[in-house]
Chain A
Amino acid sequence: MKFGILINEGPYTHQASDTAYQFVKAALAKGHQIHRVFFYNDGVNNATKLTDPPQDDRNIVNRWADLAKEHKLDLVVCVAAALRRGIREDNLAAEFRISGLGQLVESGIQADRLVTFGD
Protein backbone atom coordinates (compact mmCIF):
# COMPACT_ATOMS: atom_id res chain seq x y z
CA MET A 1 0.00 0.00 0.00
CA LYS A 2 1.08 3.55 -0.65
CA PHE A 3 0.80 5.83 2.39
CA GLY A 4 0.78 9.61 2.61
CA ILE A 5 1.78 10.92 6.03
CA LEU A 6 0.72 14.22 7.59
CA ILE A 7 2.40 15.46 10.77
CA ASN A 8 0.68 18.36 12.50
CA GLU A 9 2.58 18.75 15.76
CA GLY A 10 6.11 19.78 16.60
CA PRO A 11 8.74 17.52 18.14
CA TYR A 12 9.07 16.72 21.88
CA THR A 13 5.93 18.51 23.16
CA HIS A 14 3.72 15.97 21.40
CA GLN A 15 4.39 12.34 20.58
CA ALA A 16 2.91 12.75 17.09
CA SER A 17 6.21 12.97 15.26
CA ASP A 18 7.65 9.98 17.17
CA THR A 19 4.56 7.90 16.40
CA ALA A 20 4.64 8.88 12.75
CA TYR A 21 8.32 7.91 12.59
CA GLN A 22 7.60 4.49 14.11
CA PHE A 23 4.65 4.04 11.74
CA VAL A 24 6.73 4.91 8.67
CA LYS A 25 9.53 2.56 9.75
CA ALA A 26 7.08 -0.26 10.38
CA ALA A 27 5.26 0.33 7.09
CA LEU A 28 8.54 0.29 5.13
CA ALA A 29 9.63 -2.88 6.94
CA LYS A 30 6.39 -4.53 5.79
CA GLY A 31 7.13 -3.54 2.19
CA HIS A 32 4.69 -0.62 1.95
CA GLN A 33 5.56 2.61 0.16
CA ILE A 34 5.59 6.10 1.63
CA HIS A 35 4.42 8.58 -0.99
CA ARG A 36 5.41 11.61 1.06
CA VAL A 37 5.71 12.91 4.63
CA PHE A 38 4.13 16.35 4.88
CA PHE A 39 4.76 18.68 7.83
CA TYR A 40 2.05 21.21 8.67
CA ASN A 41 0.90 23.37 11.59
CA ASP A 42 3.57 23.18 14.34
CA GLY A 43 4.77 20.04 12.57
CA VAL A 44 7.09 22.29 10.56
CA ASN A 45 9.24 22.54 13.71
CA ASN A 46 10.38 18.99 12.99
CA ALA A 47 12.47 20.44 10.18
CA THR A 48 14.82 22.91 11.84
CA LYS A 49 18.48 22.00 11.95
CA LEU A 50 18.88 24.17 15.07
CA THR A 51 17.29 21.41 17.13
CA ASP A 52 19.80 20.23 19.73
CA PRO A 53 18.32 17.96 22.42
CA PRO A 54 20.29 16.62 25.40
CA GLN A 55 22.76 13.81 24.57
CA ASP A 56 20.66 11.09 26.16
CA ASP A 57 17.51 11.99 24.20
CA ARG A 58 16.56 11.09 20.65
CA ASN A 59 17.19 13.69 17.95
CA ILE A 60 13.84 13.70 16.21
CA VAL A 61 14.96 15.93 13.33
CA ASN A 62 18.09 13.95 12.47
CA ARG A 63 16.19 10.71 12.85
CA TRP A 64 13.77 11.78 10.11
CA ALA A 65 16.67 12.90 7.92
CA ASP A 66 18.47 9.55 8.37
CA LEU A 67 15.35 7.58 7.54
CA ALA A 68 14.71 9.77 4.50
CA LYS A 69 18.25 9.23 3.25
CA GLU A 70 18.04 5.49 3.71
CA HIS A 71 14.64 5.10 2.02
CA LYS A 72 14.59 8.12 -0.30
CA LEU A 73 11.60 9.61 1.53
CA ASP A 74 10.12 12.89 0.37
CA LEU A 75 9.98 15.12 3.48
CA VAL A 76 8.00 18.25 2.64
CA VAL A 77 7.48 21.29 4.87
CA CYS A 78 4.60 23.69 4.18
CA VAL A 79 6.07 27.04 3.19
CA ALA A 80 3.37 29.25 4.72
CA ALA A 81 3.30 27.37 8.02
CA ALA A 82 7.12 27.30 8.06
CA LEU A 83 7.65 31.01 7.45
CA ARG A 84 5.13 31.83 10.20
CA ARG A 85 7.28 29.84 12.61
CA GLY A 86 10.73 30.94 11.47
CA ILE A 87 11.64 27.87 9.44
CA ARG A 88 13.31 28.78 6.16
CA GLU A 89 15.90 27.44 3.72
CA ASP A 90 18.85 28.66 5.80
CA ASN A 91 17.86 26.73 8.93
CA LEU A 92 16.21 23.79 7.20
CA ALA A 93 17.57 20.38 8.21
CA ALA A 94 19.09 18.02 5.65
CA GLU A 95 16.72 15.89 3.55
CA PHE A 96 13.73 18.23 4.08
CA ARG A 97 12.37 20.50 1.37
CA ILE A 98 10.02 23.47 1.58
CA SER A 99 7.03 23.53 -0.73
CA GLY A 100 3.36 24.41 -0.93
CA LEU A 101 0.16 22.93 0.47
CA GLY A 102 -0.57 21.51 -2.96
CA GLN A 103 1.93 18.79 -2.07
CA LEU A 104 -0.36 17.69 0.76
CA VAL A 105 -3.44 17.61 -1.45
CA GLU A 106 -1.50 15.73 -4.11
CA SER A 107 -0.47 13.17 -1.50
CA GLY A 108 -4.14 12.72 -0.60
CA ILE A 109 -4.88 12.08 -4.25
CA GLN A 110 -1.94 9.83 -5.08
CA ALA A 111 -1.64 7.76 -1.89
CA ASP A 112 -3.97 4.88 -1.05
CA ARG A 113 -4.27 6.22 2.50
CA LEU A 114 -3.42 9.58 4.02
CA VAL A 115 -2.62 9.10 7.71
CA THR A 116 -2.56 12.09 10.07
CA PHE A 117 -0.44 12.31 13.21
CA GLY A 118 -1.10 15.05 15.73
CA ASP A 119 -4.06 16.92 17.05
Chain B
Amino acid sequence: MSEEMSESGIVKKFMYVNRKAPYGTIYALESLEVVLIAAAFDQDVSLAFIDDGVYQIAKGQDTKSIGVKNFSSTYRALDDYDINKLYVQKESMEARGLTDKDFLVPVEIKTAAELSALMEQQDVLLSF
Protein backbone atom coordinates (compact mmCIF):
# COMPACT_ATOMS: atom_id res chain seq x y z
CA MET B 1 0.00 0.00 0.00
CA SER B 2 2.85 2.37 0.73
CA GLU B 3 3.96 1.95 -2.88
CA GLU B 4 0.53 3.00 -4.03
CA MET B 5 0.79 6.06 -1.82
CA SER B 6 4.20 7.06 -3.11
CA GLU B 7 2.86 6.64 -6.61
CA SER B 8 -0.03 8.92 -5.77
CA GLY B 9 2.62 11.37 -4.63
CA ILE B 10 0.52 12.78 -1.81
CA VAL B 11 2.61 13.78 1.18
CA LYS B 12 0.67 15.22 4.08
CA LYS B 13 1.74 16.57 7.42
CA PHE B 14 0.67 14.13 10.13
CA MET B 15 1.04 15.07 13.77
CA TYR B 16 0.43 12.54 16.53
CA VAL B 17 -0.50 14.28 19.74
CA ASN B 18 0.21 12.18 22.82
CA ARG B 19 -1.59 13.43 25.89
CA LYS B 20 -1.76 10.47 28.28
CA ALA B 21 0.64 8.80 30.71
CA PRO B 22 2.29 5.68 29.22
CA TYR B 23 0.53 3.29 31.57
CA GLY B 24 -2.92 3.35 33.14
CA THR B 25 -4.61 3.45 29.75
CA ILE B 26 -3.68 1.90 26.39
CA TYR B 27 -3.70 5.18 24.44
CA ALA B 28 0.08 5.73 24.47
CA LEU B 29 0.86 2.21 23.24
CA GLU B 30 -1.83 2.19 20.56
CA SER B 31 -0.76 5.65 19.40
CA LEU B 32 2.79 4.38 18.99
CA GLU B 33 1.48 1.43 16.98
CA VAL B 34 -0.16 3.83 14.51
CA VAL B 35 3.03 5.88 14.26
CA LEU B 36 5.09 2.79 13.42
CA ILE B 37 2.66 1.72 10.69
CA ALA B 38 2.42 5.27 9.37
CA ALA B 39 6.19 5.32 8.90
CA ALA B 40 5.76 3.04 5.87
CA PHE B 41 3.64 5.64 4.07
CA ASP B 42 6.35 8.23 3.44
CA GLN B 43 4.40 11.05 5.03
CA ASP B 44 5.71 14.07 6.92
CA VAL B 45 5.32 12.79 10.48
CA SER B 46 5.83 14.53 13.81
CA LEU B 47 4.94 13.67 17.39
CA ALA B 48 3.90 16.06 20.14
CA PHE B 49 3.93 15.20 23.81
CA ILE B 50 1.73 17.29 26.04
CA ASP B 51 0.10 16.98 29.48
CA ASP B 52 0.91 13.59 31.07
CA GLY B 53 1.99 12.49 27.57
CA VAL B 54 5.45 13.86 28.36
CA TYR B 55 5.93 10.85 30.66
CA GLN B 56 5.74 8.51 27.63
CA ILE B 57 9.32 9.35 26.70
CA ALA B 58 10.69 9.86 30.22
CA LYS B 59 13.86 7.92 31.08
CA GLY B 60 13.93 5.20 33.70
CA GLN B 61 10.54 3.59 33.21
CA ASP B 62 10.10 0.39 35.19
CA THR B 63 6.85 -1.54 34.86
CA LYS B 64 7.83 -4.75 36.65
CA SER B 65 5.55 -4.20 39.60
CA ILE B 66 2.44 -3.47 37.52
CA GLY B 67 2.79 -6.45 35.19
CA VAL B 68 2.59 -4.37 32.01
CA LYS B 69 5.08 -4.42 29.16
CA ASN B 70 7.56 -1.53 29.20
CA PHE B 71 7.46 -0.30 25.60
CA SER B 72 9.43 2.90 26.15
CA SER B 73 12.51 1.66 24.28
CA THR B 74 10.41 1.58 21.10
CA TYR B 75 10.52 5.38 20.96
CA ARG B 76 14.28 5.09 20.40
CA ALA B 77 13.57 3.13 17.21
CA LEU B 78 11.55 5.97 15.67
CA ASP B 79 14.70 7.56 14.27
CA ASP B 80 15.32 4.38 12.24
CA TYR B 81 11.98 5.05 10.55
CA ASP B 82 13.01 8.64 9.79
CA ILE B 83 10.64 9.94 12.42
CA ASN B 84 12.69 12.54 14.24
CA LYS B 85 10.41 15.52 14.78
CA LEU B 86 9.49 15.03 18.42
CA TYR B 87 8.12 18.00 20.30
CA VAL B 88 7.64 18.30 24.04
CA GLN B 89 5.39 21.03 25.34
CA LYS B 90 7.41 23.21 27.68
CA GLU B 91 4.62 24.02 30.13
CA SER B 92 3.65 20.37 30.54
CA MET B 93 7.29 19.38 31.06
CA GLU B 94 7.95 22.08 33.64
CA ALA B 95 4.72 21.49 35.53
CA ARG B 96 5.91 17.91 36.10
CA GLY B 97 9.39 18.87 37.25
CA LEU B 98 11.04 17.46 34.11
CA THR B 99 13.84 19.00 32.02
CA ASP B 100 15.09 18.30 28.51
CA LYS B 101 17.66 15.92 30.05
CA ASP B 102 14.96 13.55 31.25
CA PHE B 103 13.94 12.14 27.87
CA LEU B 104 14.89 8.88 26.15
CA VAL B 105 15.10 10.49 22.73
CA PRO B 106 16.20 13.85 21.33
CA VAL B 107 13.28 16.28 21.48
CA GLU B 108 12.58 19.90 20.73
CA ILE B 109 10.98 21.85 23.55
CA LYS B 110 8.12 24.05 22.34
CA THR B 111 5.89 26.44 24.21
CA ALA B 112 2.14 25.96 23.98
CA ALA B 113 2.00 28.91 21.57
CA GLU B 114 4.75 27.47 19.35
CA LEU B 115 3.12 24.05 19.33
CA SER B 116 -0.19 25.62 18.51
CA ALA B 117 1.38 27.29 15.48
CA LEU B 118 2.85 23.94 14.40
CA MET B 119 -0.54 22.25 14.77
CA GLU B 120 -2.01 24.94 12.55
CA GLN B 121 0.30 23.76 9.73
CA GLN B 122 -0.77 20.11 9.90
CA ASP B 123 -3.04 18.30 7.48
CA VAL B 124 -3.92 15.48 9.87
CA LEU B 125 -3.87 15.58 13.67
CA LEU B 126 -4.30 12.33 15.53
CA SER B 127 -4.69 12.83 19.24
CA PHE B 128 -4.39 9.98 21.72
Report A's interface with B, CB cutoff 8 A: 6, 8, 40-41, 80-81, 100-102, 104-106, 108-110, 114, 116, 119
State the CA gap A102–B42 with chains docked (Å): 12
Shortest beta-carbon distance from B116 to chain A in Å = 18
Tell whether, in the assembled complex, residue B34 and residue A101 are in contact, meaning their CB atoms are under 8 Å apart: yes
Chain B residues bordering chain A, tally (CB within 8 A): 22
In the bound complex, residues from chain B placing their C-beta under 8 Å from that of A8 are: 128
Instruction: Kindly identify which residue among A101, A109, A114 contacts B33, using a CB–CB cutoff of 8 Å.
Output: A101
> Does the CB pair A116–B26 fall under 8 Å?
no
Residues of B within 8 A of A109 (CB): 5, 8, 10, 12, 41, 43, 124
Q: Tell me, rounded to whole Å, the shortest Cβ–Cβ distance linking B25 to chain A.
A: 9
Asked if B26 and A41 sit within 8 Å, CB to CB, the answer is yes
Contact of B40 (CB < 8 Å), options: A6, A102, A108, A110: A102
| Known interface pairs A40-B30, A80-B33, A100-B37; A108-B124 also in contact (CB < 8 Å) | yes
